[in-house]
Amino acid sequence: MLANDFHLDGLMGFDLYGKTIGIIGAGRIGAVFAGIMRGFGCSIIAYDAYPDPEFERAGARFVSLAELAAQSDAISLHCPLTTGTKHLLGADFFAACKPGVLLVNTSRGQVLDTAAALAALRSGHLGGLAMDVYEFEAGLFFEDHSQSELADPLLAELQQLPNVLITGHQGFFTREAFSTICQTTIDSFTAYEKGAPLVNRIPD
């Protein structure tokens, strides 16, 4: 739009109704997202290293990561960054995906191998990428770089693609979320001090 180009070339989307949505990371956030997608008439499949039966009872189905890649029309990431999830989505994963799959990452940047995602975008195999987090975001996000040239060629190329949406790690940026973050932090410190179970602990 900034270039006054209102062509629709390359902007054809798809309805969510009847599509298969793959969720990687079936925790509380993943479960809420699954409920939203079911409201659009989607089938839900999920992958998680620690499958929760409650998630499956809510209408989702757990599958392997390879099955999720092969069956999903759109994939959303909701898993933490651990030694086991770094570059969980790389070249092999994208090769196994349906052509034209849409990927959304609101979890952690390093879960996604950005160079592999860019290669899949270039080839057209990855149909679109929306990312609120970026593998190399340190020193970039939360800062104003409008008066300087972007020193990251990978991010610069991603920004030029019409099927890529990048937000600067701001999906959490609401008053309510900040209040919840503060309360959760206080509750975690209190539980640790008392020797109580750490319900928000992320497994290694």
Catalytic hit among 61, 122, 137, 149: 137
Q: Spell out the domains of the chain, with CATH numbers in brackets.
A: 20-135+151-173 (3.40.50.720), 174-204 (no CATH)
User: What are the backbone dihedrals phi and psi of residue 87, each rounded to the nearest 5 degrees, phi first?
Assistant: 55, 35
| Known catalytic residue at 108 | yes
How far lies 141's CA from each of 12, 86, 134, 138, 150, in Å? 30, 20, 9, 6, 12
Number of H helices, E strands in the chain: 7, 7
Rounded (5°) CA angle 5-6-11 = 110
pLDDT of residue 145: 76
pLDDT of residue 1: 45
pLDDT of residue 204: 61
Spatial contact of 63 and 71, defined as CB atoms under 8 Å apart:
yes
Q: What's this model's pTM, rounded to 2 decimal places?
A: 0.86
pLDDT of residue 181: 87
Q: In tens digits, what is the pLDDT along the chain, a chain of 204 residues?
A: 456 878 887 677 889 999 999 999 998 899 999 999 999 999 999 999 988 888 887 788 999 999 999 999 999 999 999 999 999 999 999 999 999 999 999 999 999 999 999 999 999 999 999 999 999 887 778 777 778 777 788 898 999 998 999 998 888 788 998 899 899 999 999 999 999 998 888 766
The CA distance from 132 to 108, in Å, is 9
- What is the tens place of the pLDDT at every residue in 75-90? 999 999 999 999 999 9
Catalytic hit among 108, 149, 193, 201: 108
